[in-house]
Structure 1
Amino acid sequence: MNLRQLKIFLTVCQEGSMSKAAKKLYMTQPSISQTIGELEQELNIKLFERINKHLYLTYPGEILREYSKRIISLLEEAENTLLDISNLKTGKLRVGASTTIGTYLIPKILSEFRKKYENTSIFFNIDNTAVIEKQILENSIDIGIVEGPIHSQDIIIEPFIEDELYLVCSKGHRWALKKVIEPWEIEEEELIIREKGSGTREVFETIMSANNLKYHIKHVLNNTEAIKKAVELNMGVSVLSKLAVSEELKKGTLVKIEIEGIKFKRMFNIIYHKDKYFSPTFKAFMEYLKSGRR
């Protein structure tokens, strides 16, 4: 059993078929099949079973998949560590951020960090908190900055900065002149809200539940900019990060509404796996985040 075999096996697992794995690895399908066959013969186990033209992992296959992930992950960490050692300003970092942070905060952070560590390769992706948490657990990213609650005990959570969600409406909405509403009033309004798995939505739902308030969802959108446009057109009201609506509040296209006795406060958090190796690049990025130079 060697690394080449494990990488091919893992690609077949990820793609769900020999042909797709062959295409991704720029190999022929017979070569993929031969490698899997050699691996099964060497280990004296069946890794896949084919049912109705679909590949399914056997129980031994599932075990080997998890070991393969860990082995390849350790190899990548070794490569990154050696790269960092050769030149402290050279390295690779994979950063994930939930939607609000990724759109309105992290680009500036990464831009400033790259000015100091200009030879560092940074791979960056944006998704909702649930997806970023999953990517940390799968070691697809090194570090995440998220706005929503984290549920895995295998993830370390460190506070970053405080945020607040604002209830906003259009300037033509009946609330715009009031500026302050009673909690029960939100129960009668149509909400435009983020999708399940979004940190913004989870914080909103948690605080509403804690205050025994009901709410009516009219539209679910996974794009903050689209939500803002819909609210501006008076299609409903929404609860969004103050980072996301600061420009619209200045222009007056959106109006912030206070709810008597209720605040939607939350903390943006830095997350990483409890077993994560702290490479020099990782340490430098953590120190930068905590330094307040943003």
Structure 2
Amino acid sequence: MRYSFRQLEVFLAAAHFQNITRAAESLAMSQSAASSALKELENQFDIQLFDRVGKRLQLNELGRLYRPKVEAVLAQATELEQAFSKHSEVGALKVGATLTIGNYLAVGVMAQYMNTPTHPKVSLEVANTRTIAQRVSDFELDIGLIEGELHASELEVLPWRDDELVIFCSPAHPLASKGTLTDDDLRQATWIMREQGSGTRQSFERGMHGLLSDLNILLELEHTEAIKRAVETNLGIGCLSRVVLEDAFKRGSLIELTAPEHRHFDRQFYFILHKQKYRSAGIDAWMELCRQL
């Protein structure tokens, strides 16, 4: 074989950090050793994988073409190494989840996944749909769990489970005692909303089609708990996933409001994976645990 796994690791680290010094540090190598490994890889095949601008390394077209293939080779090699070492086939995972899923569903899945004899590690990054999708696209996450619709040619988007958004208010709000809301009620209300780029905001705007320009949005917040607290203090009304609100509804600290019949807030949660990433046993096991929720 004309290349080594170490050379491939240096290539991926350089692609990630765009700097050979930081790539070397991440692999516990000297800068000169990392530079030599990358240079030897390119020289052996008479190719150039990066455009070099000063100390910055930028993947060129050929580098971008080979990156997913190298990712797949190293993922398979890691899994084989685990099997040779008699470890579980279910290995460490890098998972990304949107805020609703990450804060209310993913932690339970993590506990089950890690509760095996070898205790595989899971790192969980929580961010909005746009950020998680970009991280999966860049091979920085193994799998993403998102609550927004997504169209990206390099990603595979797989349905996971149904969800719905619910409009809610504090018990002291004037709408708390009203039956079904009208569009005029929605226009006149003050809203506390999730930020642009979140899956929740995307689903809300789809359900409010035709009314968006008339809505009075007082606050846009990144965290669901902050929105719940703001609504509890009667700053306005909100719209979040039922998953987020169930406990508050049981306690009576928040009140569910009935949307107009023609306003629909049903949606789905999705898995997202890079189409060119190797599907490991760990990814399959994670998805199965999610489906069992």
Identical positions, percent = 30
> 1:139 maps to which residue?
139
Q: Is the 8 A contact 2:12 2:71 kept in 1?
A: no
Q: 1:285 to 1:21 in 2, by over 3 A?
A: closer
Q: Is the 8 A contact 2:168 2:256 kept in 1?
A: yes
Structure 2: distance between partners of 1:105 and 1:72: 28
Does the residue aligned with 1:236 lie in a helix, a strand or coil? Answer: coil
> 1:230 maps to which residue?
230
> 1:286 maps to which residue?
287
Structure 1: distance between partners of 2:49 and 2:285: 45
Shift of 1:87: 5.2
Q: Is the 8 A contact 2:166 2:242 kept in 1?
A: yes
- What is the identity, as a one-letter code, of the residue corresponding to 1:123? V
Q: 1:45 to 1:130 in 2, by over 3 A?
A: closer
Shift of 1:68: 3.7
- What is the identity, as a one-letter code, of the residue corresponding to 1:254? L
1:139-288 map, 5 Å: 139-209=139-209, 211-214=210-213, 215-261=215-261, 262-288=263-289
Shift of 1:6: 4.1
Q: 1:235 to 1:62 in 2, by over 3 A?
A: farther
> 2:10 maps to which residue?
8
Q: Is the 8 A contact 1:192 1:219 kept in 2?
A: yes
Q: 1:237 to 1:90 in 2, by over 3 A?
A: same
Q: Is the 8 A contact 1:90 1:120 kept in 2?
A: no
Q: Is the 8 A contact 1:200 1:240 kept in 2?
A: yes
> 2:118 maps to which residue?
119
Q: Is the 8 A contact 2:75 2:278 kept in 1?
A: no
Q: Is the 8 A contact 1:89 1:281 kept in 2?
A: no
Alpha-carbon RMSD across the aligned residues, in angstroms, is 3.1
**TM-score, with length taken from structure 2:** 0.81
- 1:198-242: CA deviation from partner (whole Å, max 9, x where unpaired): 111111112212x55432332222111111112222222221111
> 1:74 maps to which residue?
73
Gaps of 5+ in 1: none
Structure 2: distance between partners of 1:33 and 1:276: 26
- 1:173-198: CA deviation from partner (whole Å, max 9, x where unpaired): 22222253212322233322222221
Structure 2: distance between partners of 1:141 and 1:12: 17
Structure 1: distance between partners of 2:52 and 2:276: 33
- What is the identity, as a one-letter code, of the residue corresponding to 1:148? G
**TM-score, with length taken from structure 1:** 0.80
Structure 1: distance between partners of 2:136 and 2:40: 32
Q: Is the 8 A contact 1:128 1:197 kept in 2?
A: yes
Structure 1: distance between partners of 2:285 and 2:236: 43
> 2:23 maps to which residue?
21
Q: Is the 8 A contact 1:98 1:129 kept in 2?
A: yes
Structure 2: distance between partners of 1:282 and 1:85: 19
User: Greater shift after overlay, 152-161 or 38-47?
Assistant: 38-47
- What is the identity, as a one-letter code, of the residue corresponding to 2:51? F
Gaps of 5+ in 2: none
1:85-124 map, 5 Å: 89-94=88-93, 95-115=95-115, 117-124=116-123
> 2:51 maps to which residue?
48
Does the residue aligned with 2:175 lie in a helix, a strand or coil? Answer: coil
Shift of 1:244: 0.7
Does the residue aligned with 1:253 lie in a helix, a strand or coil? Answer: coil
Q: Is the 8 A contact 1:157 1:272 kept in 2?
A: yes
Structure 1: distance between partners of 2:255 and 2:145: 28
Q: 1:44 to 1:131 in 2, by over 3 A?
A: closer
- 1:33-69: CA deviation from partner (whole Å, max 9, x where unpaired): 555566666647583343xx662537xx342254144
Shift of 1:86: 6.8
Shift of 1:82: 5.2
> 2:82 maps to which residue?
83
Aligned length: 286
